Structure 1
Amino acid sequence: MLPARRLFVRKLRVCGIHTSWNTVGDGEFFCPDCGGDRNYRRRTGRRRFAVLGVPLLPRGLAGPVVECAACHSHFGMDVLDHPTTGRFSAMLRDAVHTVALAVLASGGTSSRTVRETAVQAVRAAGLDDCTEDQLTSLIEALAADTGRYVADAGPYGAALAIELHEALEPLAPHLAPAGRESILLQGARIALADGPYTPAEREVLTTVGAALQFCDDDTERLLETAAHTPF
């Protein structure tokens, strides 16, 4: 090691900035470094200039940071915006379930093929115990709850449009384009199970596309592709 570098390293050992951390909260998060769900500590700190390891002069505040309890890496608070694996799976299940309900409500539940296609989509998303009767009962309950519908909003109503946005918009930023396309295409398959899109079904699927952050042209392209693709 060069003499100048040895002197620099020696100075670093003699003096430097010492941070005292204080834990102010905890929870579970998805750790980017570990690549999975881990416990975390939310921490704030105070910086002090230290000589021989003894903190002396204050040098301001540090953090807040998120510290992984497993690898001890520090991250900005925005890392908590990423859902945990468990939460992401639940969001995805809810999204597909809501899309299936909206498409069924818009096109009706009289077709057995449509009901079976909807059940397959929901089960594939993780709701293994979903049945045709469950979906039909939910549609009937929505139809009976007249306060949830607007008279001129069509059979699927304003309430399901709101629910689509609430289920899909928080999920969309965490999905790759292929993942967002998959959700829209699952809705399209349900709608197409008994024939071409009805105007109401197309309206619902357009709402799904918008909630998934697709522009109108991309939504239309995907719907047309689905209409000409055998399933």
Structure 2
Amino acid sequence: MLFFLIWGWKVRFKTLSTGVFFCPRCGGDRPYELRLAKRWFHLYYIPLIPAKELGRQVKCGVCNTSFTEAALARPTSGQLSSLLIDAARGVVVHVLRAGSTESPVARQAAVAEIVRAGLPNYADADLTADLGVVPGDLSQLLGTLGQQLADTGKEALVGGAARVALADGPLTDLERQVLVSTGASIGMTATHTAGVISLAEQSARA
């Protein structure tokens, strides 16, 4: 009588959490599972003894691709949109503070830029509220955003702020300083930022 002993090692996964992340392969927001991989000793295909943890991985619920846990550090499209809106509101407030917070044309331009950034119901009253609460240091917000934005997104942010600053006349030194600082905070070179500002000035003079 033959007797076969079937044993070996098998990797099993335990789901630690679920959520939504930006899948690098799908190129969009997708459901995910954060899973812990562990090697088990099995006998007759029955896992009996846990042997070793192999680490965590993020599995996309759509394409089934697995990534390192670092994939969760990237904001989703929704989170990125919120970051961009917050940055636009903050930079516009800084530009107005550097110029004139009471100029009607500058305020109108500021509201238009925030609407363009993704807040269709934003109004002058909201701008007044923002002027009272936006902090003086946006470097952390802008730095986080700059890691995710393509060059076109960075140009749009600086260009929009420049249009607000130029709405009531040529740039003041303080307004230009805000624009330059914004560009640096989101990872633009000084030359790149200067080029975006120059295009906005040319458009304002046309």
What's the TM-score bracket when you normalise by the shorter of the two chains?
A: 0.7 to 0.9
Supply the AA of the counterpart residue of 1:119: V
Aligned residue type for 2:146: A
* Number of aligned residues: 200
Q: Deviations over 1:14-70 (max 9, x none)?
A: 998621111222222112333332222211122247687566897743220012233
Correspondence list, 1:72-221, <5 A? 72-139=64-131, 141=132, 159-160=135-136, 162=137, 164-221=138-195
Q: Distance in 2 between matches of 1:138 and 1:185?
A: 20
Q: How does 1:4-83 map to 2 (within 5 A)?
A: 18-48=10-40, 53=45, 60-83=52-75
Q: Any stretches of 5+ residues in structure 1 without a counterpart? A: 1-13, 143-147, 149-158
CA distance in 2, matches of 1:52, 1:71: 31
Output the amino acid matched with 1:105: R
Overall identity of the aligned pairs, in %: 35
Q: Give the corresponding residue for 1:6.
A: none
Match of 2:3 in 1: none
C-alpha distance 199-118 of structure 1, shift in aligned 2 (>3 A): same
Q: What RMSD, in angstroms, separates the aligned Cα atoms of the two structures?
A: 2.6
Runs of 4+ deviating beyond 3 Å: 14-17, 48-60
Q: Is the 8 A contact 2:92 2:110 kept in 1?
A: yes
Give unpaired runs (5+ residues) of structure 2.
1-5
| Contact 1:18/1:49, CA 8 A, preserved across alignment | yes
Cα offset for 1:208?
Answer: 0.6
Q: Is contact 1:42–1:65 with CA below 8 Å preserved after alignment? A: yes
- TM-score, scaled to structure 2: 0.84
How far apart, CA to CA, are the structure 2 residues paired with 1:32 and 1:16? Answer: 34
The separation in 2 between residues aligned to 1:208 and 1:173, in whole angstroms, is 14
Please state how far the C-alpha of 1:136 moved relative to its aligned partner. Answer: 2.8
